[in-house]
């Protein structure tokens, strides 16, 4: 078992646990799925599991975990791969963004004594996804969509960066519920910034559809975040109790 410090928290990584979770993410593609508005594709249960990858293992290991699980899942359940083999990119971005929120610190942008900048990776995802949106003609016409949807996700992300660390390491287990929801919702919208760009390029959805999705997307992601919360809290508590450490661990003095 390996661990290292990040922002006064201890990240614990057991390769076997990460491998098992990647297999769970892959298997999630075989479970009942939900339709994606306007594309004819479907979301798999892995959409709930990907944010937990970032929460359990950190942004980089969590992203790798979801990338491997998502790629394998696309092979064994191609009906859930609405972008073909590239579908795993969206889940990977979800896990990375969620991990950045979970393990990040406030302020998210810092300058050290040497004058070097440090950015929270989740902010980079949101900025990049928004810029990509406006590279498309339909995206520029539907300018209201990123303002509302990405703006809401950004607010939740910042809230998570400020409060999630304390919630996860609080002796009161109740605080893990809002912590997972905040991090998951911010991560799911972060993944959507990439997925929506590819949706624009591949399907050329009209402006009118994005008007509907402006309301549907936050509701949909809020429900996925709630599902991640309900699945994630028992796993965090139960696995830590039996010595399989996942999620932020408070560094002992």
Q: What is the DSSP string of 5-74?
A: EETTEEEEE-HHHHHHHHHHHHHHTTS--EEPTTTS-EE-THHHHHHHHHHHH-HHHHHHHHHHHHHHHH
Dist. CA 182–CA 187, nearest whole Å = 9
Task: Please state which CATH number belongs to domain 2-250.
Answer: 1.10.1760.20
Task: Parse the chain into domains and list their residue ranges.
Answer: 2-250
Distance of alpha carbon 25 from alpha carbon 19, whole angstroms: 10
Tell me the pLDDT tens digit for each residue of 137-156: 999 999 999 999 999 999 99
Mean pLDDT over residues 223-239, rounded? 94
Distance of alpha carbon 124 from its chain centroid, rounded?
13
3-class SS shares of the chain: helix, strand, coil, % to 5: 70, 10, 20
Identify whether the C-beta of residue 9 lies closer than 8 Å to the C-beta of residue 165.
yes
Q: Average pLDDT of the chain?
A: 88
Q: What is the pLDDT of residues 108-146, one digit of tens each?
A: 877 766 766 778 999 999 999 999 999 999 999 999 999
């Amino acid at each position: 078992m390996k661990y290292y410090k990040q922002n006064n928290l201890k990240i614990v990584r057991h390769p076997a646990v990460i491998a098992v979770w990647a297999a769970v993410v892959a298997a999630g593609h075989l479970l009942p799925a939900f339709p994606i508005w306007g594309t004819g594709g479907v979301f798999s249960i892995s959409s709930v599991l990907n944010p937990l990858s970032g929460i359990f293992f950190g942004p980089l290991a969590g992203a790798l975990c979801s990338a491997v699980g998502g790629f394998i899942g696309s092979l064994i359940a191609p009906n859930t791969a609405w972008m073909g083999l590239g579908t795993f990119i969206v889940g990977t971005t979800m896990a990375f963004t969620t991990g950045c929120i979970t393990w990040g610190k406030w302020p998210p942008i810092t300058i050290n004594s040497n004058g070097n900048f440090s950015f929270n990776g989740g902010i980079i995802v949101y900025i990049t996804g928004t810029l990509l949106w406006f590279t498309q003609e339909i995206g520029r016409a539907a300018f209201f969509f990123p303002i509302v949807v990405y703006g809401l996700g950004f607010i939740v992300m910042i809230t998570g960066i400020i409060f999630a660390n304390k919630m996860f390491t609080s002796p009161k287990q109740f605080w893990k519920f809002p912590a997972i929801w905040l991090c998951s919702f911010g991560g799911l919208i972060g993944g959507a910034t990439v997925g929506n760009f590819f949706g624009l390029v591949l399907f050329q959805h009209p402006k009118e559809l994005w008007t509907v999705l402006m309301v549907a997307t936050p509701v949909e992601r809020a429900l996925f975040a709630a599902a991640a919360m309900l699945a994630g809290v028992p796993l965090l508590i139960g696995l830590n109790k039996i010595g399989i450490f996942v999620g932020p661990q408070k560094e002992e003095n």
